[in-house]
């Protein structure tokens, strides 16, 4: 062997060993500067002798070119998903079902793992060298993301301890982002004026789908292996847990939290332990994956459509976090109801950043006994809507402030009406906040379905007084629209076309679009079914309205009162007569009839 070749091999081995110590053992042996100097020396030698360059060289992690698309990869062994259970009885049923199938009442040995909240990937090693990586895709076909996976420092480009390696092995696992990595990435993105990610999972997905691997390389991605796809020849142990330990010996990252459990009690204890410690992992998990440990038994149990019978995901309950209330603001809704909203120090709860939570009404604020500066417990109800479920009184700071309810509307300054739990701005469409909400309802999908007119455009139209009521929307023209931010001729024409198209509608949609208090879409359909035309409805007396089935006296009164107000009648008159000329059909308009037949 030439001297330069030997030198290159030595440098690569040195760097690989340091990377292993740094990323997998968490115990760096040399300062970063020394690593960088050796890497520079390797790059220099490789540039002198490009014929000696190999794909598994540590210098090649970010060597991939910018692509213009991802190529498809067909998985030789499909990448399956998992069925879910949510409670102890779900697990007991699963365990019993397996014992019935195995015709044995003995305790089953399971391998229990964290259910990482990221993206499944498959990484193929040929004679120990990383040759291809792919996303899960639909389970049968994924996308080739080799260049991006190579940038993840903990994923070995060449497996260690080559002696016992199969010729071909497809390592499967999850790419994810730590909570701190995610927070730092978002802070950086904010500074640079880039889009923020909603949660670590989205950030990991967005980072893996970069066509430029240099961008992926700057993202704090992590990887844990949890299984295997294709292996030839199969030199692996019959125990899934032992396989994972084998992979670890080859330098593949695995979670240290996996545990072999015998029987249901040990599994349930593991689940409890994970649940108690979940906030300490530093990354999001959304459950525990319970797998039959023996590969022979896994094979015997087999699959049902897209999920294995031998594994299940036991989901964790909704997560709670502590954070502080910075201030409380008051929002004005479509019907003038004022809602207190707590502005919070941003906090990650069940995978999403929460910075606001509704406090609903005066009673709720009193019930919680909240003050500004308080530390509160936040949960995402149904794992979606953020909710404050209590305060930690022991953490109340000395300078905590009382929440003062406004006496005037924060938008239009009208004097607020006060019932015992609700505050309401009585200004109706005079109040800009209510006007915006009214327009949002009017254009919405179930109402007039005016495509393209979103919140941003509505804010601009109302703020600049171009639109004070729904009829004004139909008075817009291309010149006016093109004066708004980010609207060019193409979008302006599209919006005008949407407005024109919306003029043929149904009575139910129109009624719903008017935004009458407590008239949702189902109620609007119900009312429309009882009246042939809008004219008849407008002149209906309260008695006939109350006679509509499934409509209570409150809704009947709201409808009646709405049609007695001259302001409302004038807007309706404008909408229905030329030049606007909206046509309300009793049911589906004739021009849409053909859709039914399809």
Interface positions with ligand IVH (CB under 6 A): 80-82, 113, 115-116, 120, 136, 174, 226-227, 289, 308, 311, 313
Minimum separation from the CB atom of position 294 to ligand IVH (A): 15
Q: Which residue has the tokens 């695995």?
A: 254
The span from the CA of 86 to the CA of 400, in Å, is: 39
Minimum separation from the CB atom of position 174 to ligand IVH (A): 5
With CB atoms as reference, the residue minimizing the distance to ligand IVH is: 120
The conformation of residue 21, written as its DSSP 8-state character, comes to I
- Residue number with CB closer to ligand IVH (22 or 257): 257
Minimum separation from the CB atom of position 58 to ligand IVH (A): 28
341-363 burial: b if 16+ Cβ within 10 Å, else e: ebebeebbbbbbbbeebebbbbe
Residue 437, marked binder: no
Q: Which token pair is 475?
A: 């008075």
- Residue number with CB closer to ligand IVH (81 or 339): 81
Minimum separation from the CB atom of position 385 to ligand IVH (A): 24
- Residue number with CB closer to ligand IVH (205 or 211): 205
The span from the CA of 236 to the CA of 243, in Å, is: 6
The span from the CA of 383 to the CA of 287, in Å, is: 13
Residue 453, marked binder: no
The span from the CA of 45 to the CA of 47, in Å, is: 5
* For helices 179-191 and 200-208, angle between their N-to-C axes, nearest 10 degrees: 70
Minimum separation from the CB atom of position 556 to ligand IVH (A): 49
Helix, strand, coil % in the chain, rounded to nearest 5: 40, 25, 35
Q: Which residue has the tokens 């859709």?
A: 595
Residue 113, marked binder: yes
Nearest to 334 by CA among 407, 439, 423: 439
Minimum separation from the CB atom of position 24 to ligand IVH (A): 18
- Residue number with CB closer to ligand IVH (139 or 397): 139
- Residue number with CB closer to ligand IVH (311 or 545): 311
Residue 115 a catalytic site member: yes
Residue 296, marked binder: no
- Residue number with CB closer to ligand IVH (136 or 509): 136
Kindly name the residue from 14, 115, 436, 440 that is annotated as catalytic. 115
Beta bridge partners of 408: 415
Residue 413, marked binder: no
Residue 517, marked binder: no
Residue 472, marked binder: no
Q: What is the CA radius of gyration of the chain?
A: 31
- Residue number with CB closer to ligand IVH (22 or 281): 281
- Residue number with CB closer to ligand IVH (113 or 374): 113
Minimum separation from the CB atom of position 133 to ligand IVH (A): 14
Contact present, 293 and 241 (Cβ < 8 Å): yes
First-to-last C-alpha distance (Å) of the chain: 73
Residue 499, marked binder: no
Q: Which residue has the tokens 């030595």?
A: 10
Phi, psi of 498 (to 5 degrees): -60, -40
Q: Which token pair is 334?
A: 């479509």
Residue 329, marked binder: no
The span from the CA of 176 to the CA of 196, in Å, is: 17
Nearest to 111 by CA among 315, 291, 310: 291
Side-chain-facing half-sphere of 212: CA atoms under 13 Å: 4
Minimum separation from the CB atom of position 551 to ligand IVH (A): 44
The conformation of residue 465, written as its DSSP 8-state character, comes to T
Residue 51 CA, chain-centre distance (Å), reads: 46
Angle ∠(231,289,75) on CA atoms, nearest 5: 35
Residue 326, marked binder: no
Q: Binding site residues for Zn(2+), as ranges? A: 409, 412, 425, 431
Q: Binding site residues for NAD(+), as ranges? A: 32-36, 81-82, 113, 136, 174, 291, 315
Active site residues: 115
Q: Binding site residues, as ranges? A: 32-36, 81-82, 113, 136, 174, 291, 315, 409, 412, 425, 431
């Amino acid at each position: 062997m030439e001297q330069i070749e030997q030198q290159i091999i030595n440098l690569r081995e040195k760097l690989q060993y340091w990377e292993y110590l740094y990323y997998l053992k968490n115990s760096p042996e040399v300062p970063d500067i020394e690593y960088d100097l050796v890497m520079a020396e390797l790059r220099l030698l490789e540039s002198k002798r490009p014929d000696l360059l190999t794909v598994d060289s540590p210098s090649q992690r970010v060597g991939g070119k910018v692509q213009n698309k991802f190529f498809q990869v067909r998985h030789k062994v499909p990448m399956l998903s998992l069925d879910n259970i949510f409670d102890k009885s779900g697990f007991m049923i699963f365990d019993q079902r397996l014992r019935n199938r195995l015709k044995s009442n003995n305790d089953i040995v399971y391998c229990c793992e964290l259910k990482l909240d990221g993206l499944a990937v498959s990484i193929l090693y040929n004679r120990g060298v990383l040759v291809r990586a792919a996303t899960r895709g639909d389970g049968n076909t994924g996308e080739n993301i080799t260049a991006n996976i190579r940038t993840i420092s903990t994923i070995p480009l060449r497996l260690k301890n080559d002696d016992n390696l199969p010729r071909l092995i497809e390592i499967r696992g999850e790419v994810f982002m730590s909570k701190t990595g995610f927070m730092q990435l978002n802070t950086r993105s904010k500074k640079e004026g880039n889009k923020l990610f909603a949660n670590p999972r989205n950030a990991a997905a967005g980072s893996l789908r970069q066509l430029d691997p240099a961008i992926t390389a700057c993202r704090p991605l992590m990887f844990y292996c949890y299984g295997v796809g294709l292996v030839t020849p199969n030199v692996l142990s019959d125990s899934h847990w032992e396989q994972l330990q084998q992979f670890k010996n080859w330098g593949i990252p695995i979670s240290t939290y996996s545990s072999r459990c015998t029987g249901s009690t040990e599994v349930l204890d593991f689940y409890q332990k994970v649940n108690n410690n979940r906030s300490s992992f530093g990354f999001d998990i959304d459950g525990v994956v319970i797998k039959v440990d023996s590969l022979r038994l896994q094979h015997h149990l087999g699959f049902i459509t897209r999920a294995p019978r031998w594994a299940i995901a036991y989901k964790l309950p909704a997560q709670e976090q502590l954070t502080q209330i910075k201030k409380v603001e008051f929002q004005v809704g479509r019907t003038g109801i004022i809602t207190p909203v707590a502005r919070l120090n941003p906090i990650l709860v069940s995978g999403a950043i929460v910075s606001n939570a509704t406090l609903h009404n005066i009673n709720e604020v009193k019930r919680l006994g909240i003050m500004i500066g308080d530390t509160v417990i936040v949960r995402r109800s149904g794992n979606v809507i953020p909710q404050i479920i209590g305060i930690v009184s022991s953490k109340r700071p000395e300078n905590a402030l009382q929440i003062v309810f406004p006496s005037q509307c924060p938008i239009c300054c009208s004097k607020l009406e006060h019932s015992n739990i609700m505050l309401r701005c009585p200004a109706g469409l005079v109040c800009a906040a209510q006007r915006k909400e009214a327009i949002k309802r009017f254009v919405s999908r179930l109402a007039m379905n005016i495509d393209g007119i979103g919140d941003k455009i509505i804010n601009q139209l109302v703020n600049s007084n171009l639109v004070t009521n729904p009829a004004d929307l139909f008075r817009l023209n291309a010149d006016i629209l093109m004066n708004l931010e980010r609207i060019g001729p193409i979008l302006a024409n599209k919006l005008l076309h949407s407005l024109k198209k919306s003029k043929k509608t149904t009575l139910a949609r129109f009624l719903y679009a008017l935004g009458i208090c407590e008239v949702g879409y189902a109620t609007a359909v119900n009312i429309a079914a009882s009246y042939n035309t809008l004219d008849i409805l407008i002149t209906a007396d309260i008695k006939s309205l109350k006679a509509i089935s499934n409509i209570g006296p409150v809704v009947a009164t709201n409808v009646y009162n709405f049609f007695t107000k001259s302001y409302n009648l004038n807007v309706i008159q404008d909408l229905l007569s030329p030049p606007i000329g909206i046509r309300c059909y009793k049911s589906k308009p004739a021009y849409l009839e053909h859709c039914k037949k399809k």
